[in-house]
Amino acid sequence: MKRYLFFLLIMALVPQIALAFDFKEGGLCYNINEDRKTVTLTYENLILQALDAPPPSEKGYEGNIVIPEKVKHNGKTYKVTAIGRETFMGNRELESVIVPKSVKTIGNGAFAQCYSLKNVVLPPDLTEIGDYMFAESNIREIKIPEKVKRIGASAFSNCPLKSIEIPNSVTTIEKSAFSACRWLEKATLGNSVKTIGDAAFSICPSLKSINLPASLQEIGAQAFYEGGMESVTIPAATKSIGDGAFRYCNNITTLQVENGNKNYDSRTNCNAIIETATNTLVAGCNNTVIPNSVTKIGDEAFYGLKNIYNIDIPSSVTEVEDQAFFYCTNLRSIELPNSVTRIGERSFCGCDSLETVVIPNSVKFIGYGAFLHDDHIKSVTIGSGVTTISEWAFKGLDSITSLTSNIEDVSSVKMGKAVFDEIDKKSCTLYVPSGTADSYKAAPQWKDFTKIIER
């Protein structure tokens, strides 16, 4: 979608060019196809515009349009079998379009950015809803024909749909297909859907109800980002779930995997999705209880969940992966067991309610921005086993007054850039092991602390 909007922006900056068509009849423009018997409806002038741009000087098509099945020109009759890509795109005064049964294909972006378009009747033999076909239009309801197999990338993004029914013929819902449909309350998926693409239903905060059919095999990254669902059940057939599939889904209280799934499970009714082969918790919710058998908290597992206040991490866990608790702004306490060896990038970044952090002696690696801008942390203890502290790991801890390091040989620690950036090193006391103060006072970044005291 970003690439598409960038394309529109670039095109909006160049003069509009009248593009050729073969003939015009009844106010509509056509190109004759290679068979010389059929035609494709096209535009008279291509109207491209950036978001929030003023109305273009060329209105293009407007009002209520009924496309004929056949059209006569110079004594010859042609059958209308296709609508070309971007044919109606950017026509701000277009209100409705009825597409005849003769049309088999509609090109990408055909109705995109038609801000007054409320109704389109699609032909029964259509097999694909193309990429960004209705993006940023005013479509509030639509019947998808029962032969459609694919719904394209960004096909309905940023449309005011309230509900959508996906027919049983559809197997693929591409990336961002329904992204930013903020008023979408219900999505009913047909029983053949195998793939839900990246961010397909992202930023749909009103989406309270969606059924995941038994046929579903793939759920893309951020597929339901910022969705409003309260309960989610992953089907037994699902083989892959992308990172952050349920990111910022703050209403989910029940998160389960169907029995019989060979790839994922929700053991001990934990209200989480666990990758069975690796024992990695890949997605959690407000009511998650992490089982003792879990060895990793996966990438973005609890990303942006604002209703988590406390969570127990069992001693089976060895890794907290990238962005696992990113922006869990109400997480008040976290106790890392003495089994964890790795804290991933930005794993606790933005956890504004944390006040105390104790990194156990088992931890060897602290990732980039691991505790970045955790504004209320007052004290941090770094375990003796740490060998790598990455860039910005503790940047912006505005409230910290006490930093305790149990590292005996500080010169052996690999330090990223600006590890302690934006910490007040005059007011924060650095406590170090007995007999090591001189080595800390000589070590880059550690030496910037004014008060270094041996314990």
| Three-state secondary structure readout of 26-40 | CCEEEEECCCCCEEE
Report percent pLDDT > 70 for the chain.
93
The answer on pLDDT for 17 being more than 50 is: no
Contact 85, 101 (CB under 8 A): no
Burial label, 93 (beta-carbon count in 10 A; 0-12, 13-18, 19+): middle
From start to end of 91-140, where are the E strands? 94-98, 105-106, 119-121, 128-129
pLDDT surpassing 60 at residue 358: yes
CB atoms within 10 A of CB 376: 15
Domains parsed from the chain with CATH numbers? 295-455 (3.80.10.10)
**Separation between Cα atoms, residue 302 and residue 252, nearest integer Å:** 11
Instruction: Please write the tens of the pLDDT for every residue from 155-168.
Output: 999 999 999 999 99
Rounded CA gap, 170 and 149, in Å?
4
Which residue did the predictor score with more confidence, 32 or 16? Answer: 32
Find the mean pLDDT for residues 372-401. 97
Q: Which residue has the tokens 């169907």?
A: 258
How far is it, in rounded angstroms, from Cα 368 to Cα 418? 10
Q: Which of 144, 150, 128 is nearest to 82 (CA)?
A: 128
Could you tell me the pTM of the whole model? 0.89
Confidence of residue 60 (pLDDT cuts 50, 70, 90): confident
Of 199, 278, 285, 184, the closest CA to residue 234 belongs to: 285
Q: Which two tokens stand for residue 235?
A: 């089907």
Residue 118 burial (10 A CB sphere; 0-12, 13-18, 19+): middle
Which of 334, 395, 389 lies closest to 367, judged by CA? Answer: 389
Residue 182's pLDDT is: 97
Confidence check: pLDDT of 9 > 50: no
Compute the mean pLDDT over every residue in the chain, rounded to the nearest whole number: 93
pLDDT in tens, 126-136: 999 999 999 99
Cα distances from 274 to residues 58, 278, 385, in angstroms, run 55, 8, 29
- With beta carbons less than 8 A apart as the criterion, state whether 233 and 210 touch: no
Mean pLDDT calculated for residue range 223-228: 97
- What count of other Cβ atoms lies within 10 Å of the Cβ of residue 85? 21
Q: What is the pLDDT of residue 10?
A: 34
Least confident of 41-55, 59-73, 246-260: 41-55
Mean pLDDT on 50-55: 48
Cα-to-chain-centroid distance, residue 413 = 36
What stretches of 122-235 adopt beta strand conformation (E)? 128-129, 150-151, 163-165, 172-173, 186-188, 195-196, 209-210, 218-219, 231-234
Three-state DSSP state, 10:
helix
CA distance 244 to 261: 20
How does DSSP classify residue 410? G
Distance CA 390, CA 365 (A): 8
Query: Which tens digits make up the pLDDT trace of 199-208?
Result: 999 999 999 9
Helix, coil or strand: residue 268: helix
Residues for the chain: how many in total?
455
Q: What is the pLDDT of residue 48?
A: 56
**pLDDT at position 83, please?**
98
Q: Give the largest Cα separation in the chain, rounded.
A: 101
Across 395-404, b (16+ Cβ under 10 Å) vs e yields bbbeebeebb
Query: Cα–Cα distance between 91 and 43 in angstroms, integer?
Result: 10
Q: How confident is the model at residue 58 (pLDDT cuts 50, 70, 90)?
A: low
pLDDT digits (tens, 9 = 90+) for 298-320: 999 999 999 999 999 999 999 99
The dihedrals phi and psi of 448, each to the nearest 5 degrees, come to: -75, -15
Is residue 43 predicted with pLDDT exceeding 80? yes
Instruction: Check residue 280 and report its DSSP letter.
Output: E
pLDDT-derived band at 8 (thresholds 50, 70, 90) equals very low
Q: 298 and 280 in contact (C-beta within 8 Å)?
A: yes
